[in-house]
């Protein structure tokens, strides 16, 4: 059994930018200019959303039957790490590389457009196929695009899907069913998601404000991230993973944060890390009243007075739902990378600066805050208590 896996390659896209080079500057500057008001998602009004900053290229003709915004995003991400994927195919064989990705929306936007067309004309649009919106299409598409024939499937566990896909990929490798894996997740904007969270009264009327006394809900975004998981040593290690399923409520978290505490403890134990070795925490930080309250309690319980620097990057990217766990793990990767982040900055926590006196105080990062230890964790919490925590380790802390 492989004791530790590594992440030699990573691709990321969000409203901050397409690719690592476009992302690192806005991430460390706390740039939230990618969040803007959009029409066409809610009847009769605009809503703040975090969309990708540029169009996505079309798919190759021979894969056109898989066309969806989600799959176009996967193709873009795969292109960023194409050389590393080809090297892995040569090293391990195409049949020994798995594909595991997470999503919640898949190609629902294409299904929405097709249904509207059917309602207006009585027929489906030319070229539309159910596979374009099917939840599992992303893994099958990526396997076809990359010429991989190992296990390929999709994890759909709401807002922890992208993180749980990475955990699932590690299990496949440790079980001997694959030698390496492409893992991550992607989600793209669609009306169903925006209308659904609006119906739940979970959407903020202005860009989200995590951990503030004035927080009022989420901002939805789109994006994705992919990783190559390999047993071959690299700068960034997948040090540990924790998963829990506390099932406190179908949508609300345990108000005492027991599930959040348990999943952080599981990741730390799996990584063999003490709390004092954690140099940064990427909070789930949705800016909903219940989530931020319970996560603060869990952080206070685990780290006590010696809180590590922490931030919710959802203030920059919006909540990317099924992709959030993968994107925020990508932000850990960038934070820990000496090549991409030689000064050791951590992403700042962007909010209105008004603390909630009912919440335990956290060490919310300001611009210029540096890593305080050699490892970092990212929290992902989902409906039904489907929680995941990822621990990455880099080349050590910076002074």
Residues tagged active-site: 159, 284, 319
Q: By C-alpha distance, which of 330, 327, 335 is closest to 371?
A: 335
Query: Which long-range contacts link 349-354 to residues 24+ away (Cβ below 8 Å)?
Result: 349/30, 349/210, 349/211, 349/310, 349/311, 349/312, 349/315, 350/30, 350/32, 350/311, 350/315, 350/316, 351/209, 351/210, 351/211, 351/212, 351/315, 352/209, 352/212, 352/214, 353/212, 354/212, 354/213, 354/214
Closest by CA to 151, choosing from 87, 230, 97, is: 97
User: Considering only CA atoms, which of 218, 211, 178, 216 is closest in space to residue 194?
Assistant: 218
Calpha distance 275→268 (Å, rounded): 7
Degrees (nearest 5) of the Cα angle 280, 282, 283?
Answer: 125
């Amino acid at each position: 059994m492989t004791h530790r896996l590594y992440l030699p390659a990573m691709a990321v896209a969000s409203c901050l930018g397409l690719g690592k080079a476009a992302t690192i500057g806005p991430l460390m500057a706390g740039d939230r200019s990618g969040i803007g008001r959009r029409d066409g998602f809610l009847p009769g009004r605009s809503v703040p959303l975090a969309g990708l900053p540029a169009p996505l290229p079309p798919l190759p003709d021979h894969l056109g039957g898989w066309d969806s915004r989600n799959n176009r995003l996967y193709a873009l991400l795969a292109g960023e790490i194409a050389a590393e994927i080809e090297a892995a195919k040569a090293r391990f064989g195409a049949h020994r590389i798995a594909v595991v990705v997470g999503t919640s929306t898949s190609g629902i936007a294409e299904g929405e457009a097709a249904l509207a067309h059917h309602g207006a004309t009585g027929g489906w649009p030319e070229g539309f196929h159910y596979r374009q919106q099917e939840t599992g299409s992303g893994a099958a598409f990526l396997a076809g695009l990359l010429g991989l024939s190992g296990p390929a499937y999709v994890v759909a566990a709401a807002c922890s899907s992208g993180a749980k896909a990475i955990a699932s990929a590690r299990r496949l490798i440790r079980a001997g069913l694959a030698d390496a894996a492409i893992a991550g997740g992607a989600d793209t904007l669609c009306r169903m998601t925006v209308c659904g969270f609006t119906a739940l009264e979970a959407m903020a009327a202005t860009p989200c404000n995590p951990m503030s006394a004035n927080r009022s809900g989420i901002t939805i975004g789109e994006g994705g991230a992919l990783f190559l998981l390999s047993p071959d040593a690299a700068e960034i290690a997948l040090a540990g993973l924790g998963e829990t399923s506390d099932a406190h409520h179908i949508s609300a978290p345990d108000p005492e944060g027991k599930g959040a505490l348990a999943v952080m403890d599981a990741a730390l134990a799996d990584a063999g890390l003490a709390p004092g070795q954690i140099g940064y925490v990427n909070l789930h930080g949705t800016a909903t009243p219940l989530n931020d309250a319970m996560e603060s309690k869990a952080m206070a319980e685990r780290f006590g007075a010696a809180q590590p620097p922490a931030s919710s990057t959802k203030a920059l990217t919006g909540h990317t739902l099924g992709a959030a766990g993968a994107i925020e793990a990508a932000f850990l990767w960038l934070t820990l990378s000496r090549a991409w982040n030689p000064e050791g900055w951590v992403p700042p926590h962007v909010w209105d600066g008004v603390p909630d006196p009912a919440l335990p105080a956290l060490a919310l990062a300001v611009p210029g805050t540096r890593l305080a230890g050699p490892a970092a964790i990212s929290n992902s919490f989902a409906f039904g208590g489907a929680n995941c925590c990822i621990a990455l380790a880099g080349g050590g802390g910076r002074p």
